[in-house]
Amino acid sequence: MTNSAPNRIIISVDAMGGDRGPAAVVAGLALSADKNPDIGFILHGDQSTLEPLVTREPNLEGRVEIRHTEEVVTMDAKPSFVMRNGKDTSMWSAVDAVRDHEADVAVSCGNTGALMLLSMVRLRKLPGVNRPAIACLWPSRNPGGFNIMLDVGADIRAEDTDLLQYAMMGASYARNGLGIARPRIGLLNVGTEEHKGHPVLKSAHELITGAAENANIEFVGFVEGVDIPSDRVDVIVTDGFTGNVALKTAEGTADLMAGFIRQSFTETFMAKLTALVAKASLGRLKVRMDPRRANGGVFLGLNGTVVKSHGGADAVAISSAVKLAFTLSQSGFNQKLAARVASSGTPRQDGTSTKGEQQE
């Protein structure tokens, strides 16, 4: 099976890495194909497993090329082991399709650490980027429904220049992924006062302040954890350790609250009656808070775009990740991101500057 339309945006998909298996991945691609005629796929994994699944989806006819691989990167695999022994895995093959310019974006539900290291080695970092970042969409009170937060786990460390680069990359993502012309950037801290925080944060505050006008961003200064889902900012910048803890805490809290709500509406007859009366409102709330709508962390700072889908993603969530991948590719995101990093003027590791002309 091949992609018959030459002008389609091609998404390279690791079919074998998710917790729900390739059936959920193929079902997600079928949902995307039904909504978007301008998308095609290179699907990586076991051909004998994938062919029947693809054949059963009429929406995928002529839209999928299957590339057979013998092995799978397991969720508990060490990234270093994958780099030494993973050349015949679906994840490796999916990333290489982007490296070889056969696909525009790679999508995987697999092992995050392995995917990040593999992407860094196979795609390489953009010139001037010291540390790539993972950016996630965070449900918020903003009109578009989401904020962007980075880094959420690519690297637990971050110097002041790294935080500046995160701000520039996050701004580019906000422009090209969410359509925000002049993104508002906030630097996560333990308080909003300028005297609070450790020296790296204070220095990063100065750097972002100095770069804001040329970068066409609005730097709102320090923000706190309570601001992450607010309408005060569009992009929240932090180090990978803090960002990952915040993300996992939010996921756990959301799951806890959902359980409490279900329990509250089933405890008594009156509670069940109330739930029935409020069914429509509860349904709208469920859709708005559905984490599948925000599925897909984007690896920023590489010579190619990689979207990390949640490991437990179902068909709807995978379709959301594919939609994000398509939107970023359609906007020419990675080329604009490279120009944005260059425009920040941050020093490379060799001490030279990356400053260039201002771009999107």
Give me the domain span that covers residue 5: 1-123
Tell me whether residue 269 is in a domain. no
pLDDT digits (tens, 9 = 90+) for 125-179: 888 888 889 998 888 888 888 899 998 887 888 899 999 999 999 998 898 888 8
In a domain, 322, yes or no: no
The per-residue pLDDT for range 219-253, each reduced to its tens digit, is 999 999 999 989 999 999 999 899 888 888 877 77
Q: Is residue 8, in this structure, part of any structural domain at all?
A: yes
Count CB atoms within 10 A of the CB of residue 339: 18
Is residue 290 in a domain? no
State yes or no: pLDDT of 66 exceeds 90: yes
Specify if 185 maps to a domain.
Answer: no
Neighbours of 353 (CB within 10 A): 12
265-278 residue pLDDT tens: 787 877 777 777 77
Mean pLDDT in residue range 50-66: 93
Give percent above pLDDT 70 in the chain: 88
Q: Give the mean pLDDT of the chain.
A: 85
Question: What does the pLDDT read at residue 294?
Answer: 61
Residue 194 identity (one-letter amino acid): E
Residue 109 CA to its chain's centroid (Å): 11
Q: Is residue 343 part of a domain?
A: no
pLDDT at 343: 66
One-letter amino acid for residue 260 of the chain: F
The domain spanning residue 81 has which CATH number? 3.40.718.10
Q: How many domains are there within the chain?
A: 1
Confidence of residue 44 (pLDDT cuts 50, 70, 90): very high
Cross-strand pairs, 307: 107, 298
For residues 160 and 171, what is the distance between their CA atoms, to the nearest angstrom? Answer: 17
| Residue carrying the six token digits 């923000």 | 223
Q: What is the pTM of this model?
A: 0.81
**296, two tokens:** 């897909």
Residue 71 lies in a domain: yes
* Contact yes or no for 64/55 (Cβ under 8 A): no
Residue 186 lies in a domain: no
pLDDT band at 286 (very low <50, low <70, confident <90, very high): low
Segment 91-96 long-range contacts (CB within 8 Å, at least 24 positions apart): 91/14, 91/16, 91/17, 91/44, 91/115, 91/118, 92/118, 92/122, 93/14, 93/44, 93/67, 93/69, 94/12, 94/13, 94/14, 94/42, 94/44, 95/12, 95/119, 95/122, 95/123, 95/304, 95/306, 96/122
